[in-house]
Amino acid sequence: MQALIAPHFMQNWPAPNMNAFIKLTLVAVFAPLALTARAAEELVPLELKLPPPAFKGTPKELPEGMVVEPLSDKPRPALMVPPGCVNLAAGLLPSSSDTNATAKKLGRITDGNKDAYEESIVLLRKGPQYVQFDLGKAAELHAIVVWHAHDATKIYRAVVVQVADDAGFTKNVRTLFNNDTENVAGQGAGTDRQYFETHEGKLVPAKGEKAQFVRLFSRGNTESALNEYTEVEIWGRPVK
């Protein structure tokens, strides 16, 4: 062990000094590995309460040029997150770029009802629109999940998910997801793929980003020019 760890010129040190050197070396080498392993062991699956599926079958013919994630019947793999994450959006009243949207209507986006019923879906006007959440203070975010409307095989367009430090989205803006390839929302052209809306919603990993404000853009879907929202969940925990 001494020959492996100690440089050649240290091999003639007195045994007590050599033993101390070996112990310090072992701590320096293996302590970070132990901390990393311990951190990995602490991760737990994010448990989402999903609504029942509302449709089955193959999607309609899609417009040319769309790059879409394959539609699968297999459950989505669980996202691993640190313990203590909660849905920070539960019961919050979001704001919206659609000035016609009433507080009563917007409140349905965080009421916990994710079923694919007409009364569960909030409709926003045509064109690029967003809903925004103020968490009250900065939090450590790990997942943002959005259910637009999963009553049919639709693909939602110009979906952009961002976090920021201020309500005007001018400070430390970070884009977590962007499939707006044509930049219709004005947030830059995205490279993420479009996707079929299902009862699982769209889960966007936030990877521990710290932010107080969350904003979600969209611009209609392959069935309608209106923007639809059923539920949004923001999973995180207080900043340590």
Vertex 134 angle, CA 129 and 135, to 5°: 140
Question: Residue 160 pLDDT more than 90?
Answer: yes
Three-state SS for 25-40 is HHHHHHHHHHHHHHHH
Tell me the per-residue pLDDT of 56-105, one tens digit each, with 9 for 90 and over: 666 666 767 678 888 888 999 999 999 999 999 999 999 999 999 999 99
Averaged pLDDT score across all residues of the chain:
86
Closest by CA to 24, choosing from 5, 7, 11, 38, is 5
Tell me the per-residue pLDDT of 4-47, one tens digit each, with 9 for 90 and over: 444 444 455 455 555 554 454 554 555 554 445 445 559 999 99
More confident residue, 206 or 70: 206
Task: Please tell me the CATH superfamily of domain 84-238, with its number.
Answer: Galactose-binding domain-like (2.60.120.260)
In the block, tokens 């209507």 appear at 105
Contact predicate 185/160, CB 8 Å: yes
Structure tokens at 18: 């050599």
Contact predicate 141/86, CB 8 Å: no
Question: Residue 201 pLDDT more than 90?
Answer: yes
Q: What is the pLDDT of residue 10?
A: 45
Contact predicate 199/230, CB 8 Å: no
Residues of the chain with pLDDT > 90: what percent?
72
Vertex 134 angle, CA 128 and 139, to 5°: 120
Question: Residue 225 pLDDT more than 90?
Answer: yes
Q: What is the pLDDT of residue 8?
A: 47
Flag the least confident range among 85-89, 117-121, 216-220.
Answer: 117-121
The residue-averaged pLDDT of 167-173 equals 98
Domain ranges of the chain: 2-42, 84-238
Three-state SS for 74-139 is CCCCCCEECCCCEECCCCCCCEECCCCCCHHHHHHHHCCCCCCCHHHCEEECCCCEEEEEEEEEEE
The residue-averaged pLDDT of 218-239 equals 96
Q: What is the pLDDT of residue 87?
A: 98
Q: What is the four-CA torsion angle of 202, 207, 208, 213, rounded to 10 degrees?
A: -40
The residue-averaged pLDDT of 105-116 equals 97
Contact predicate 232/81, CB 8 Å: no
Quote the CA–CA distance of 81 and 207 in Å, as a whole number: 9
Contact predicate 123/227, CB 8 Å: yes
Instruction: State the DSSP H helix or E strand holding residue 227, giving kind and residue range, or none if neither.
Output: strand 227-229
